[in-house]
Amino acid sequence: MRLHITLDDALVADLDRRAGSRRRSAFIAEMIRRTLDDERRWDDIETSLGSLSDDGHDWDDDPADWVRRQRRSDDRRAG
C-alpha cells in the first residue's frame, strides 16, 4: 500500500544519512513496526498496573533470602 506523508527537510536529511535515499521506505516501515511493538508493550504494562497487591508476598520479610531460595531451586543453575 502506498501512503503519502510530509517530512521536513532536516528530518529527511537525517533519514538519508542513516538509511540512504534508496532505503527510506524500508527504514521507515521498520521504525513504525518497532514503535508499534513498543506501544503495544506499554499498553500491556499499563493494563497490568495494580494487578499485584502491595503486600502479602513471599519476599516481603526478606527479599534477599527469597532470591537466594529461588536461585537454589532453579534446576538450570549448575551447582
pLDDT at residue 78, rounded to an integer: 60
- pTM score: 0.63
pLDDT by residue for the chain (79 residues), tens digit each?
Answer: 999 999 999 999 999 999 999 999 999 999 999 999 999 999 999 999 988 888 888 889 999 999 999 999 887 766 5
d(CA 71, CA 77): 8
Q: What are the domain boundaries of the chain?
A: 1-50
| Three-state secondary-structure class, residue 6 | coil
CA 5 – CA 17 distance, rounded (Å): 19
